[in-house]
């Protein structure tokens, strides 16, 4: 059995930050991920969305920035070639150059100080769980038959949809509604609150809503999807019923109603942790069990890249014995 001072489950922003900090202290580190090293931000979220927003802004202002050029720029930014997945070699090489052991696979807690990856068992002085988050998929009748997009498809497609219905007007829904509307796609943005991006100040969000409408986005505020009728609309569009309100249509549906923490299969029960409402509650040192810590989205309270970096370094410091409490 291989032993490490720190075993990190999840190689997004938080996991990478924890690994690099621990290696700067000469701690032995194993970092595990079943998907792309680097996490969502550089491949399916922050970087591609900002690349597309820039392209849409230039295009909207009359510049020479057609969708193909925007897609090419986005793919360049996320190190993607052709239709395959992005290349995460830069993240892997950076971790290995720092001296971390990189392992691809699904990790499961196997008891105190134990992590299982396929047939390989690791012994850990401390464990950091930094599994990130995934798009929430609502339990809507008929939704699965419509094959909805999440942020992954919304930031990676090379083909513009004929029309787009977006459920949720938080950061993802707002950003992508503007991108596609500015490229001429009829966009309807549905949100259960009375304003878009409703966690922010009303004055700002009112201006944001008006800006989206000027770009051609149709806002359906105070409405919530209740059912999807796949392909039953005009020219094969999907029909989305909105409770007592008039239904909307879209040839593609994009889900942007929030994020969930992928806790299933982590083996939290083996260290005495029982999630509540899909969450775990850390103490003031980001600890959920003896020598088990959380960082990034799972630690909360907000799901931001810079916060993930901060909590990643913080957990590494605490796990290595520093008397430190995150602010």
Say how many C-beta atoms besides its own lie within 10 A of residue 302's C-beta. 10
Question: Which of the four pLDDT bands, split at 50, 70 and 90, describes residue 1?
Answer: confident
Cα 228 to Cα 140, 250, 285, 314, distances in angstroms: 7, 10, 44, 44
Q: Which of 132, 135, 162 is nearest to 237 (CA)?
A: 162
What domains can you pick out in the chain, each with its CATH number?
A: 2-38+88-133+261-319 (3.50.50.60), 136-258 (3.50.50.60)
DSSP assignment string, 17-41: HHHHHHHHTT--EEEEESS-TT-SH
Distance in angstroms (rounded) separating the CA atoms of residues 134 and 30: 23
Q: How confident is the model at residue 105 (pLDDT cuts 50, 70, 90)?
A: very high
Q: What is the mean pLDDT of the chain?
A: 97
- Grade residue 213 by pLDDT with cuts at 50, 70 and 90: very high
* pLDDT value of position 286: 98
Alpha helices in the chain (DSSP H): 13-24, 41-44, 46-60, 67-77, 89-98, 151-154, 171-182, 202-214, 305-319
Tens digits of residue pLDDT in 71-102: 999 999 888 887 778 999 999 999 999 999 99
CA–CA separation, 4 and 107 (whole Å): 15
Longest Cα–Cα distance of the chain, Å, equals 63
> Higher confidence at residue 67 or residue 82?
67
Q: Are 278 and 260 in contact (CB under 8 A)?
A: yes
Q: Would you call 234 helix, strand, or coil by DSSP? A: helix
**Dist. CA 242–CA 134, nearest whole Å:** 24
- The per-residue pLDDT for 178 is 99
């Amino acid at each position: 059995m291989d032993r490490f001072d720190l075993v990190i489950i999840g190689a997004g922003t938080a996991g990478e930050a924890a690994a690099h900090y621990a290696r700067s202290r000469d701690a032995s580190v194993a970092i595990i991920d079943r998907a792309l090293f680097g996490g969502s931000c550089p491949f399916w979220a922050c970087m591609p969305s900002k690349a597309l927003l820039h392209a849409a802004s230039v295009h909207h202002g009359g510049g020479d920035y057609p969708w193909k050029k925007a897609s090419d720029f986005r793919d360049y930014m996320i190190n993607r070639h052709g239709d395959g997945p992005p290349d995460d070699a830069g993240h892997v090489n950076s971790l290995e150059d720092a001296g971390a052991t990189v392992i691809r696979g699904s990790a499961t807690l196997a008891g105190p100080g134990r992590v299982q990856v396929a047939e390989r068992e690791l012994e850990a002085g401390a464990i950091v769980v930094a599994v990130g988050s995934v798009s929430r998929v609502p339990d809507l009748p008929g939704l699965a038959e419509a094959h909805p997009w999440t942020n992954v498809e919304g930031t990676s497609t090379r083909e513009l949809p004929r029309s787009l219905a977006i459920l949720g007007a938080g950061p993802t829904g707002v950003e992508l509604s503007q991108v596609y509307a500015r490229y001429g796609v009829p966009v309807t943005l549905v949100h259960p609150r009375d304003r878009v991006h409703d966690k922010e100040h009303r004055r700002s969000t009112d201006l944001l809503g008006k800006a989206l409408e000027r770009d051609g986005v149709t806002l359906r505020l105070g409405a919530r999807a209740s059912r999807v009728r796949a392909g039953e609309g005009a020219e094969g569009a999907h029909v989305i019923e909105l409770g007592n309100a008039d239904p909307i249509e879209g040839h593609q549906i994009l889900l942007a109603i929030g994020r969930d923490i992928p806790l299933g299969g982590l083996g939290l029960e083996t260290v005495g942790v029982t999630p509540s409402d899909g969450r775990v509650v850390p103490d003031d040192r980001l600890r959920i069990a003896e020598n088990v810590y959380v960082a990034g989205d799972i630690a909360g309270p907000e799901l931001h890249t810079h916060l993930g970096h901060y909590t990643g370094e913080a957990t590494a410091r605490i796990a290595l014995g520093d008397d430190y409490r995150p602010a």
